[in-house]
């Protein structure tokens, strides 16, 4: 982010104080911060193809702007760094640093293994060259979002005249600058409110949303751990689709290159979900979770059939975990009675 290069020495008269500059620049700043966070969030939502992602992405980018961007902007103001290259570089760092810490590939567990498209990325807790390459690529993507936000921030302040050295200007020109900043800030605030309304306008009211009835939590009935590789993701998605169709369940597949996201459900019956990320720890297999919102036992039949279908396709690869993530023996209701 870039701040104003005006200093107290640039003020036209002695009776004007530094806070006057801040007050005059506050409106453009509001617009610059909000728009600098909104544009990258819109790009993320566009890449995901889901408008519901926008509020989350905006919350993250706005947090980056306020928590990291403002301190950097204060340094820029003190140094009078007002070039767009400085804004882009600062934005790149702002976007990259949190992700660099969160996605650090080194693991404390010596048993951690991971791969992407059959290429090992983590072996015994240590990233391979491919793993480091994936990490750097991920940081580059995050940094590019930050750079875009920094550039938007700079453009807004430049447009409003906030980055210009304070020189005497005609009163009319000053009024135009003020109006520009006010319109931009007002539009940015309205856009932020519109983003905040997205969750209520796009709320999923189908059986795939287990919280559509207002409940705040739901406990799984069965946690299946399928010990297969990433290459089997498409096969698993097709198996679950065929399983859902055979039982008259609604099926949804929102998977993309970095995530497996599949669910099958009925309005009054069980809900089966699968969600896994490519860079997730591979100490565990693919989690397949069975829920039931009716508090009955009808889900057990569907769970039994699902486990049988998985075991038929991947013999010996179907495992089970308890609420603490520990491997447990096959639940009693899955064992055929004699």
Q: Are 297 and 287 in contact (CB under 8 A)?
A: no
Split at pLDDT 50, 70, 90, the class of 108 is very low
Q: What is the pLDDT of residues 49-61, one digit of tens each?
A: 777 788 888 889 9
Token pair recorded at residue 212: 């559509």
Distance in angstroms (rounded) separating the CA atoms of residues 316 and 15: 82
Greatest alpha-carbon pair distance for the chain in Å reads 96
Secondary structure tally for the chain: helices H, strands E = 8, 10
Q: Yes or no: say if 310 and 232 are a contact pair by the CB < 8 Å rule.
A: no
Average pLDDT for residues 207-219, to the nearest whole number? 83
Share of the chain above pLDDT 70, in %: 77
Alpha helices in 202-292 (DSSP H): 233-246
Average pLDDT (37-55) is 85
- Residue 46 pLDDT grade (very low, low, confident, very high; cuts 50, 70, 90): confident
What is the band of 250 on the pLDDT scale with cuts at 50, 70, 90? very high
Between the alpha carbon of residue 134 and those of residues 60, 128, 259, 284, the distances in Å are 22, 10, 15, 21
The structure tokens listed for 124 are: 């015994």
Is 263 strand, coil or helix?
strand
Choice between 234 and 191, residue whose per-residue pLDDT is larger: 234
Using DSSP's 3-state secondary structure scheme, residue 176 falls into helix
**Region 301-322 average pLDDT:** 94
What pLDDT shows up at residue 193? 81
Distance separating alpha carbons of residues 38 and 158, to the nearest angstrom:
18
Q: Which residue has the higher pLDDT, 12 or 105?
A: 105
* The predicted structure's pLDDT at residue 202: 67
**Residue 151: what pLDDT?**
93
Q: Is the pLDDT of residue 245 over 90?
A: yes
pLDDT class for 253, splitting at 50, 70, 90?
A: very high
Residue 270 in 3-state DSSP?
Answer: strand
pLDDT at 8 exceeding the cut of 50: no
Given this model, what pLDDT does residue 212 score? 81
Q: Which two tokens stand for residue 236?
A: 């698993």
Who contacts 37 (Cβ-Cβ below 8 Å, separation ≥6)? 58, 61, 62, 64, 65, 149
pLDDT at 10 over 80: no
> Looking at per-residue confidence, does 282 or 321 come out higher?
321
Q: Comparing 38-52, 185-199, 243-257, which segment has the lowest mean pLDDT?
A: 185-199
Tokens 């391979």 belong to 128
> Of all residues in the chain, what percent carry a pLDDT higher than 90?
26
Structure tokens at 187: 């539009």
User: Tens of pLDDT along 271-284?
Assistant: 999 998 765 555 67
What is the rounded average pLDDT of the residues 49-77? 84
* Domains of the chain and CATH, by start: 8-201 (no CATH), 222-334 (3.30.160)
Phi and psi torsions of 122, nearest 5°: -140, 130
CA–CA dist 275, 289 (Å, integer): 9
Confidence of residue 316 (pLDDT cuts 50, 70, 90): very high
Distance CA 180, CA 160 (A): 6
Residue 206 reports pLDDT greater than 80: yes
Average pLDDT over residues 215-225: 89
Check whether 232 has a pLDDT greater than 70: yes
pLDDT for res 123 = 67
**Residue-averaged pLDDT of the chain:** 79
> Is 296 a residue whose pLDDT tops 80?
no
pLDDT given at position 276:
86
């Amino acid at each position: 982010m870039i701040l104003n290069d005006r200093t107290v020495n640039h003020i036209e008269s002695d009776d004007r104080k530094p806070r006057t500059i801040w007050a005059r620049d506050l409106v453009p700043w509001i617009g610059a911060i909000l728009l600098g966070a909104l544009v990258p969030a819109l790009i993320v939502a566009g890449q995901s193809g889901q408008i519901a992602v926008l509020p989350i992405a905006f919350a993250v980018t706005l947090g980056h702007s306020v928590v990291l961007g403002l301190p950097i902007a204060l340094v820029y103001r003190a140094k009078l760094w007002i070039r767009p290259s400085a804004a882009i570089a600062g934005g790149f760092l702002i976007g990259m640093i949190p992700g660099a810490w969160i996605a650090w590939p080194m693991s404390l567990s010596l048993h951690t293994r991971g791969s992407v498209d059959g290429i090992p990325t983590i072996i015994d807790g240590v990233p391979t060259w491919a793993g480091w390459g994936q990490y750097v690529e991920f940081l580059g993507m995050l940094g590019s979002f930050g750079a875009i936000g920094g550039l938007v921030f700079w453009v807004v302040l430049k447009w409003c005249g906030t980055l210009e050295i304070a020189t005497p200007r005609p009163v009319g020109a000053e009024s135009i600058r003020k109006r520009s900043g006010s319109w931009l800030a007002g539009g940015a605030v309205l856009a932020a409110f519109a983003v905040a309304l997205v969750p209520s306008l796009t709320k999923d009211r189908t059986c795939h949303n287990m919280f559509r009835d207002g409940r705040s939590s739901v406990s799984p009935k069965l946690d299946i751990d399928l010990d297969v590789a990433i290459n089997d993701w498409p096969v698993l998605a097709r198996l679950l689709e065929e399983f859902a169709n055979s039982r008259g369940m609604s099926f949804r597949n929102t998977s993309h290159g970095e995530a497996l996201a599949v669910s099958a459900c009925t309005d009054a019956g069980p809900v089966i979900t699968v969600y896994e990320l490519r860079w997730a720890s591979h100490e565990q297999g693919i989690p397949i979770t069975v829920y039931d919102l009716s508090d009955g036992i009808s889900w057990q039949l569907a769970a039994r059939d699902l486990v049988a279908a998985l075991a038929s396709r991947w013999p010996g690869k179907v495992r089970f975990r308890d609420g603490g993530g520990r491997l447990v023996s096959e639940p009693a209701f899955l064992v055929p009675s004699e």
